[in-house]
Amino acid sequence: MDMDIKKLILVVLSLALVFSLAESFDYHESDLSSEESLWDLYERRRSQYTISRDLEEKQKRFNVFKENLKHIHKVNQMDKPFKLKLNKFADMTNHEFMSTRSSKVSHYRMFHGPRRLTDFRHEKTNNLPPSIDWRKKGAVTGVKDQGKCGSCWAFSTVVAVEGINQIKTGELVTLSEQELVDCDNQGCDGGLMEQAFEFIKKSNGLTTENNYPYRAKNELCDTSKLNGPVVIIDGYEMVPEKDENALMKAVANQPVSIALDAGGKDFQFYSEGVFPGDCGTELNHGVAVVGYGATSDGTK
């Protein structure tokens, strides 16, 4: 059954941060004491992620792993409000991480070129709640993995549509990123959330993940899968640029698609805490803001 959404989807092209916690692998300071203990840690980590490599490639990856571990340990010794951990990206250089996880083609047009101007219905909204977490309200599905495909734009879009659908209907439906990858002509080489919202609007909705599963690669649009259940939207709005108060107003009403700079090792190994925003401004990754609030020490 179609679920008709009578509220516009919001797209944000301004810098804000929200992170999904990647599966991590703990280490102890004693693991850094010698080359042997480092190699043992590397092998345990490789076993956890069932990674098989030949000896030459293992040595190359071990060297990358060592440097990443040193960075993680150094940052965690500093007085920073966030922590890093080893995760499945621990033997990848930051360049490799970025080249396989972020959008690779449309950056300039997306974040530096002309942006569509729209109304912003929450402009005069006041009396915002001091905090909100749409995950706790049941409007956010579990963390998804885009794999080695620059389809972050599709995942960012889908979070917002899933969220507003749950808010309006009370039902959390997991939607299909693969339909966007295949049928919106943006694919794994990067794309625009704005165009994805426009596609959903004009194509009379987005089907479910179960009906059109994610495959992390470009494929031909399977039109036979587009006759199943869909979520429909009427349109979308752009949150005013460089206005965190406007972003807060938007997020108070629903999960919001945003873009951010995902470069740097700190982002690659982020685990927990408040990232202070000193990450850069070369926006290259689409994610979603699913809430806001303050920590126990009052940090916004």
**140 and 51 inside one domain:** no
Q: Looking at 146, 186, 195, 268, which residue is catalytic?
A: 146
Neighbours of 96 (CB within 10 A): 13
**66 and 135 inside one domain:** no
Q: Looking at 122, 149, 152, 166, which residue is catalytic?
A: 152
Judge whether 188 counts as a catalytic residue.
Answer: no
**182 and 81 inside one domain:** no
Can you tell me the distance from the alpha carbon of 178 to that of 157, in angstroms, rounded to the nearest whole number? 12
**117 and 265 inside one domain:** yes
Judge whether 285 counts as a catalytic residue.
Answer: yes
pTM, full prediction:
0.81
Q: Looking at 122, 188, 254, 285, which residue is catalytic?
A: 285
Q: Of 69, 88, 107, which residue sits at a domain end?
A: 88
State the distance between the two ends of the chain, measured CA to CA, in whole angstroms.
41
With a CB cutoff of 8 Å and minimum separation 6, the contacts of 279 are 17, 260, 261, 262, 263, 264, 266, 267
In terms of DSSP bridges, do strands 230-232 and 3-4 run parallel, antiparallel, or are they unpaired?
Answer: parallel
Judge whether 146 counts as a catalytic residue.
Answer: yes
pLDDT tens, position by position, 219-271: 999 999 998 789 999 999 999 888 899 999 999 999 999 988 888 889 899 99
**133 and 156 inside one domain:** yes
Number of H helices, E strands in the chain: 9, 13
Q: What pLDDT, on a 0 to 100 scale, did the predictor assign at position 23?
A: 59
| Residue 254 DSSP label | S
Decide if pLDDT at 9 tops 70: no
Kindly report the CATH number assigned to the domain that includes residue 221: 3.90.70.10
pLDDT tens, position by position, 41-70: 888 777 666 566 677 888 899 999 999 999
The domain total for the chain is 2
Can you tell me the distance from the alpha carbon of 65 to that of 265, in angstroms, rounded to the nearest whole number? 12
Q: Of 35, 61, 88, which residue sits at a domain end?
A: 88
Q: At what angle do helices 193-202 and 152-169 cross, to 10 degrees?
A: 50
Confirm whether 56 is domain-assigned.
yes
Confirm whether 298 is domain-assigned.
no
Rg (CA), the chain: 20
Domain range for residue 56? Answer: 24-88
